Structure 1
């Protein structure tokens, strides 16, 4: 059935469309009797206001776009939860798109969101994104855009981040503090800024503690659908390449869990032979054996914070006020578990 219109209500009551509209909005110049007749008929006919048209008249669609690399991922699922909960409180719908770590798909999805006239966009960049022209074009249209997690430092928009270098430094320092001397790093792909910063944090911790940096101990791992298998394969390769490694800082928990699985299979004792620190605090990190020490990354809080910042910017645009980009940094913490703690193993 087609939606009931104001015109149909007006025709049945033999009044104007304007009168019907005013009656539904409780305008004071419409009599209570007319308001009652209009509202009663609207209820009988199951009339629903065209919220999209109303929102457009108010210069907003009450929708935002969210582009993330992966949906089925512990960290990003927490981010989504934080965003959606905050959006619902403000009456916004969230259009969620997955870029699959593809730059080309990310560009198409941005165009799609713009064509849907969303009020603003939240985005965590794909690993393959090295050109930021598509993002700058959105900003040039005065469309609010807030980046989170995987960001581009040179794009002038608000960002919600953690200090990846500081967190990686803390993870590596923990390995050094428990006595590790030859520490490998399973890093993410070369492009994402967070992967770069985690590598730099690892390297700085070594140098600050007078431990030599050996590039042969750094392995590039996938952080997508094959993360677990990549962790297993890289762990096996590490043992073939180096027999003296006693610690590993790994870019994500899923890769770390894959590595632990392979080490368990090969009879490598953790943490007696090799200590491991992951990153993210994925729920599996607390149930695998041995449990995984990791950096707790606040996904839910990141989602909440990103939406709140975007909402502020949407309101500024509506008032024709300038947007001043803001960098919001959230705290992380080291979670110590069995993979680095000999005391827990005894």
Structure 2
């Protein structure tokens, strides 16, 4: 069936199209009786406003885009939930795109969103992002952009982050405090800023506690869809290269769970032989055996905060007000569980 138009409602009620439009929008110069008749008729005929026409009038699409590295990921799924919860309150449709950690795909997705005339874009950068020209193109179109989690510090836009360096320092210091002397680090790829900062936090904690930094104790994991397998493989290499290791700080929980699986397979007792701390507080971290100590990363709050910043910028631009970029830093906390509690005896 063809969509019902304002003209058809007007003809049925023998009133003007303008009166129908005003009645549906609750204009005060239309009587209550007319408003009731118009709304009842519109409901009976299943009238839907022409979104395209509305967008042309208001210069708004009421749509925003999200680009994230992975959709099926505990942290990013929580971010999406936080964004959608706030977007729905403001009447926004959310387009979710997955870059698969690909720089080239990320660029194409930005072009797609800009062609759709979205009102704003929220992004967490792919590990493969090698330059930021495509982000500057967003800014040049005067489209609001907010980066979260994996960001580019040099891009002039609002950002929502955690202090990755401080969180990594806290995790590593915890391992030192429970008596670990030789601490490895399973880090992420070389490019993302959060991977760099977590490595630097690990390194600084060693230095501040008079433990020499040993680059051979750092293993790179790409944190892809094979993160679990990367954790197992890195654990095998670690045990082969350094049989006297007694602690590991790991860049993500999924990699850490892979490492725990390999340690269990090889009869390594965690935490008695090796203590382990992960990052993000994935739900599996509290149900595996031993349970995993980890840094709690506030994904839902990051999503809510990111949308609020974007929405504020959308409204500022619409009102021709000056836009001031803001960086919001959310707090993290260390969640201590069995994998780094030396008093816990893990029974095989």
Give TM-score scaled by structure 2 length.
0.95
Q: In the aligned structure 1, how far is the partner of 2:34 from the partner of 2:66? A: 44
Q: In the aligned structure 2, how far is the partner of 1:39 from the partner of 1:338? A: 61
Give the 5 Å matches for 1:198-237.
198-237=198-237
Q: 1:51 corresponds to which residue?
A: 51
Alpha-carbon offset, residue 276 of structure 1: 0.7
Q: How many residues align?
A: 346
Q: In the aligned structure 2, how far is the partner of 1:180 from the partner of 1:102? A: 37
3-state DSSP class of the match of 1:211?
coil
Query: Is the aligned partner of 1:174 residue 2:174?
Result: yes
Alpha-carbon offset, residue 288 of structure 1: 1.0
Q: 2:185 corresponds to which residue?
A: 185
Q: In the aligned structure 2, how far is the partner of 1:226 from the partner of 1:39? A: 54
Q: 1:316 corresponds to which residue?
A: 316
Deviations along 1:222-263, one digit per CA (max 9) or x if unpaired, are 212100000001100111111121111100000000000000
1:175–1:34 Cα change, 3 Å:
closer
1:43–1:337 Cα change, 3 Å:
closer
Alpha-carbon offset, residue 14 of structure 1: 4.3
Q: 1:260 corresponds to which residue?
A: 260
Deviations along 1:71-118, one digit per CA (max 9) or x if unpaired, are 111111111111111111111111111110011111111111111111
Q: 2:101 corresponds to which residue?
A: 101
Q: 1:157 corresponds to which residue?
A: 157
Deviations along 1:145-182, one digit per CA (max 9) or x if unpaired, are 10100000000100000000000011111111111111
Q: In the aligned structure 1, how far is the partner of 2:239 from the partner of 2:248? A: 12
Give the 5 Å matches for 1:4-43.
4-30=4-30, 34-43=34-43
238-247 vs 256-265, greater mean Cα deviation: 238-247
3-state DSSP class of the match of 1:131?
coil
Alpha-carbon offset, residue 16 of structure 1: 3.4
Q: In the aligned structure 2, how far is the partner of 1:36 from the partner of 1:85? A: 32
Query: Is the aligned partner of 1:293 residue 2:289?
Result: no
3-state DSSP class of the match of 1:344?
coil
* Runs (5+) with no aligned partner, structure 2: none
Q: In the aligned structure 1, how far is the partner of 2:287 from the partner of 2:34? A: 65
3-state DSSP class of the match of 1:342?
coil
Q: 2:116 corresponds to which residue?
A: 116
Q: 1:270 corresponds to which residue?
A: 270
Q: In the aligned structure 1, how far is the partner of 2:171 from the partner of 2:138? A: 37
Q: 2:60 corresponds to which residue?
A: 60
Alpha-carbon offset, residue 32 of structure 1: 5.3
Q: In the aligned structure 2, how far is the partner of 1:215 from the partner of 1:85? A: 43
Give TM-score scaled by structure 1 length.
0.96
Q: 2:137 corresponds to which residue?
A: 137
Alpha-carbon offset, residue 59 of structure 1: 2.3
Q: In the aligned structure 1, how far is the partner of 2:165 from the partner of 2:91? A: 37
Q: 2:284 corresponds to which residue?
A: 284
Alpha-carbon offset, residue 138 of structure 1: 0.6
